[in-house]
Amino acid sequence: MRKTTLLLPVLVIAVITALSSVFIVDEREKALVLQFGRVVSVKEDPGLAFKIPLIQEVVRYDDRILSRDIDPLEITPSDDRRLVVDAFARYRIVDVNRFRQAVGVGGIATAENRLDSILRAQTREILGSVSSNDILSSDRAALMLRIRNGAIADARALGIAIIDVRLKRTDLPSENLDATFERMRAERVREATDERARGNEAAQRIRAQADRTVVELVSEAQREAEIIRGESDAERNAIFAQAYGADPEFFEFYRSLNAYSNSLKAGNSTMVLSPDNEFFNYLKSSSGKPLAEQ
């Protein structure tokens, strides 16, 4: 009974010691075994691993790709047009031993603060060497690649590999927005005014050309009408002259009848002439007296 009482605490201590010497490395992480703050082994493969209880401790780091949002950064491109850039980076811890040496007990928080400084410096340097139009154009993909490549070397000293850097937003500072919008509005108003002026000028030119064309067409039509009318009158006179030459007496009679028809309208024609006037020659009988007196 006494031996059992002594063995039980020893057995419990042995079990606790055995359990505390075993730890599991997840496939999503890497582990460092530290002894008095010094790295004694690196565990990168998933599975069971061992350490000396009480003397050694395990520090775990995420082995997945991590994302870090960079605080909005105000930059000044080469054309002195200030912009506010919002970016983020994706990175991964590739060398946990160097990472531990670089950041110490600060861990991920300290590493991300130092990574922010590296990325902000590279962003200012790269974007400050180009114009704002380049930053806002499709060339920004090449600029993001330059920022990433420039930060790789500095991040490697932290045991970190930068996988990608992206610009999420690129805006004007809030104090410059009103002035910029007003300048854009004035520019659009000026362009609209120029367009209207050019449109009015073109309209005036088209109207003048149309009026000139109308005058030319009307003048040409009147000229052709006068020519046709003159030719018609000439042809008519030629026909009358030919008829008169063929039978002068009949032609004289025909003209007199037309004169009677035009002058002696029924009910409203009154003529006062001498009876022996030549106008009534064809209204007289063979005896020389007017028909009305017979």
Q: What is the pTM of this model?
A: 0.54
- Distance between CA atoms of residues 5 and 78, nearest Å: 83
Which amino acid, 293? E
- Cα 277 to Cα 258: distance, rounded to the nearest angstrom: 17
| Phi, psi torsion values for 81, nearest 5 degrees | -105, 100
Phi/psi of residue 27, nearest 5 degrees: -70, -10
pLDDT in tens, 48-76: 777 777 787 888 888 889 989 888 888 88
Distance in angstroms (rounded) separating the CA atoms of residues 48 and 24: 5
Q: Quick check: 271 pLDDT over 70?
A: no
Give the CA distances from residue 161 to residues 144, 252, 285, in Å, rounded to whole numbers and listed in that order.
Answer: 16, 125, 139
What's the rounded Cα separation, in Å, for the pair 263 and 279? 11
pLDDT (tens digit per residue) in 172-220:
776 666 767 777 888 898 999 899 999 999 999 999 999 999 999 999 9
CA angle 250, 256, 258 (to 5 degrees): 105
- Reported confidence tier of residue 102, pLDDT bands at 50, 70, 90: confident
Helix intervals (H) in the chain: 2-20, 96-103, 107-127, 132-136, 140-156, 174-246, 248-263
The DSSP 8-state label assigned to residue 36 in this structure reads: T
- Domain 65-178: CATH architecture, name and number where available: 2-Layer Sandwich (3.30)
The mean predicted confidence, pLDDT, of the chain is: 79
CA 175/CA 189 separation, integer angstroms: 23
What is the band of 9 on the pLDDT scale with cuts at 50, 70, 90? low
Question: Taking the domains of the chain in order of start, what are their residue ranges?
Answer: 23-62, 65-178
Tokens standing for 64?
Answer: 């997945």
